[in-house]
Amino acid sequence: MKRVSPLFLVLLVLGFFFATYNLLTMIIHYKTSTSEQWDFSNPFIQMPGNLMEGEGSNSKYHVALTATDAPYSQWQCRIMYYWYKKVKEMPGSDMGKFTRILHSGKPDNLMEEIPTFVVDPLPEGLDRGYIVLNRPWAFVQWLEKAMIDEEYILMAEPDHVFVNPLPNLARGKHPAGFPFFYIKPSDHKHVIRKYYPEEKGPVTNIDPIGNSPVIIKKSVLEKIAPTWMNISLRMKDDPVTDKEFGWVLEMYAYAVASALHDVHHILHKDFMLQPPWDTEVGKKFIIHYTYGCDYNLKGELTYGKIGEWRFDKRSYLSGPPPRNLSLPPPGVPESVVKLVKMVNEATEDIPNWDTLNRG
């Protein structure tokens, strides 16, 4: 496999650092304010129309995630697929088949291990270094060319780990999504109106979501995906929008595209948890390990400062984490302990873990 440029790795680390740093104040604010906004005794934050909580769908959903052939993406996909296989047949799961949508344009060395569909990346330079822009384009190609048996699709990501059996949370044509505290369309009306005209209704019609995790009817996603792709490109091409939305631009594009098609999501707070900010696993379904977990030896979170104990996926850009990572010190929340134990189990059982994905 072609080795990764050291300069590229340095730039990638710096990009991740600044994105994480900018989120810290938002996250701290979120932890102190969301309890006043949402009723956490109810898993449903928002139900479109007159939907009843009991009107669920029993249809299987296809698990799909987009990925590259970089070692950083590969090792996360291997862990994700491992836990998909463990959870798929458990009682309460509505999981169907699995596809890694590989938008590198060519097969890689995981083709035999993980069910994979290869699609083309965007033309060179079009993503302007924002690789996530390939995501909607990848889904457009997959939906057009692949044979998908299931009626529903779960759009997932490599850094998702299934921690409990996941039922189909969608309700007919209403998808299920996760409410992100930092997606606030009403705070960006001057930008949103470039893509969501007034005749479509108030900006509050736009759900506070990204495209993942989302469980959505395939026929609905087929309508949304081209619009999602086009709006993503338009947003990236507009300097004001690009600066306003930054690394969450593509998430806003999906939310706007959904609203343009009059698609409203059921907001399900238990869809996902994000350590270290969410401390308990409970009945939640997916662990999303996008944030670094840094603690001192007293079990205290160090808030953006590298801890005496840490787990951060960005520490492993050029290759997978080693087997048998050290467990967190006493006092660290259950969610972080559970995550590390699940990573350790997967890396112990996956063949050729230490050698297959080195950059």
Residues 6+ apart with CB under 8 A from 5: none
Tokens of 196: 């969501």
pLDDT tens string 240-266: 999 999 999 999 999 999 999 999 999
Residue 74: Cβ-neighbour burial (10 angstroms; 0-12, 13-18, 19+): buried
> In whole angstroms, what is the distance from residue 306 CA to residue 315 CA?
11
Q: What is the mean pLDDT of residues 120-144?
A: 95
Rounded to 5, what percent of the chain is helix, strand, coil?
40, 15, 45
Question: Is the pLDDT score of 114 beyond 60?
Answer: yes
Query: Collapsing DSSP states into helix, strand and coil, what is residue 49?
Result: coil
Phi, psi of 322 (to 5 degrees): -70, 160
Q: Which helix (H) or strand (E) holds 116?
A: strand 116-118
Q: Set out the domains of the chain in order of their start, with CATH numbers.
A: 18-37+273-356 (no CATH), 57-271 (3.90.550.10)
Assign 120 a pLDDT band (cuts: 50, 70, 90): very high
Residues 284-296: tens digit of each pLDDT: 999 999 999 999 9
Residue among 234, 289, 222 nearest 258 (CA)? 222
14 pLDDT more than 80: no
The number of C-alpha atoms within 13 Å of 6 and in the hemisphere containing its C-beta is: 0
Task: Record the tokens describing residue 345, joined without a space.
Answer: 């189990």
pLDDT exceeds cutoff 90 at 31: no
pLDDT category at 20 given cuts 50, 70, 90 is: very low
* Bridge partner residues of 65 (DSSP): 100, 156
Tens of pLDDT, residue by residue over 179-233, are 999 999 999 999 999 999 999 999 999 999 999 999 999 999 999 999 999 999 9
Whether omega before 330 lies within 30 degrees of 0, making that bond cis, reads no
Q: State the residue for tokens 């950059």.
A: 359
Secondary structure of residue 216 in the 3-state scheme: strand
How far is residue 356's CA from residue 77's CA, in Å, rounded to a whole number?
Answer: 13
For 33-69, write each residue's pLDDT tens digit. 443 344 444 555 666 655 544 455 669 999 999 999 9
Tokens 């338009």: give the residue. 234
**Is residue 340 within 8 Å of residue 311, measured between CB atoms?**
yes
pLDDT at residue 25, rounded to an integer: 40
Give residue 46's pLDDT: 66
Structural contact between residues 93 and 58, judged by C-beta atoms closer than 8 angstroms: no
Decide: helix, strand or coil at residue 108.
coil
Tell me the C-alpha distance between 135 and 141, whole Å. 10
140-165 confidence digits (pLDDT tens): 999 999 999 999 999 999 999 999 99
Q: Give the three-class secondary structure for 273.
A: strand
As a whole number of angstroms, the distance between CA 125 and CA 38 comes to 41
With a pLDDT cut of 90, the percent of the chain lying above it is: 81
pLDDT, position 356 = 72
What pLDDT was estimated at residue 303? 83
pLDDT category, 359, cuts 50, 70, 90? low
The candidate with the shortest Cα–Cα distance to 275, out of 315, 335, 325, is 335
Token digits of residue 69: 């052939």
> Nearest-CA neighbor of 2 among 100, 68, 67, 69?
69
Q: What percent of the chain has pLDDT over 70?
A: 83
| The predicted structure's pLDDT at residue 251 | 98
For residue 214, the cross-strand partners are 155, 177
